[in-house]
Amino acid sequence: MSSIEPRTADEVIDGIFHLYRARGDQAYLGEPVSMTDHMLQSAALAEAAGAAPAVVAATLLHDLGHLVHGLADDAADHGIDTAHEEVAARWLARWFGPEVVEPIRLHVAAKRYLCATEPGYLARLSPASVLSLSLQGGPLTDADSAAFAALPHAAAAVELRRYDDEGKSAAAVTPTLEHFRAGLVAIVTS
């Protein structure tokens, strides 16, 4: 976004969409899709499943941290965890409430939680997701899993995570960013 703070919800979304258009065509961390394609696919899956508007928004925005963190695209290949979930959550908290921001902040923890609690989940992860899992701390412990499950937005984060895992098909046809504009504008908080 420009150095001038957006004043309206439409300006906020214009700035976010500009980021997607400017940086979202980069490959999605070893997956067969671009960053933008991944986030559009994930959000389309959430929408098709009837997810709450805040979950659809969070799913569309969940990896925005990769576009704003300022680190090299291949950071994971060099053993660096970009903490993209924290970067995105902090960045988006200026304009969205916790019902959007917290599932984004927790979507990496949700992967770690599912690896620890759902038999077969780890085996279904893509190689790129397994690599990032190792950088993110691996599966949660039993105590950490219980603590995660007790968090107010844990269920939404797990829901987001499942759409995230599915949104990696090179053959998928997705709606455009503009398809999601009205839903995003409606939940901008400032």
User: Per-residue confidence at 70, pLDDT binned at 50, 70, 90?
Assistant: low
Name the DSSP letter for residue 27.
B
Contacts 24+ apart (CB under 8 A), 32-37: 32/168, 32/169, 32/170, 33/167, 33/168, 33/169, 33/170, 33/172, 35/63, 35/66, 35/67, 36/177, 37/172, 37/174
Convert the pLDDT of each residue in 73-129 to its tens digit.
554 555 545 678 899 999 999 999 999 999 999 999 999 999 999 999 999 998 888
CATH number reported for the structural domain that contains residue 183 in this entry: 1.10.3210.10
Residue 165 is assigned to a structural domain of this protein: yes
Residue 4 is assigned to a structural domain of this protein: no
Residue 1 is assigned to a structural domain of this protein: no
Residue 121 is assigned to a structural domain of this protein: yes
Residue 142 is assigned to a structural domain of this protein: yes
Residue 82 pLDDT: 63
Enter the pTM of the model: 0.89
Range of the domain at 134: 9-187
Tally the domains of the chain.
1
Residue 26 pLDDT: 78
Residue 2 is assigned to a structural domain of this protein: no
Residue 71 is assigned to a structural domain of this protein: yes
Convert the pLDDT of each residue in 9-44 to its tens digit.
999 999 999 999 998 887 766 778 898 999 999 999
Residue 3 is assigned to a structural domain of this protein: no
DSSP collapsed to 3 states, 56-71: HHHHHHCCCHHHHCCC
Residues facing 188 on adjacent strands: 96
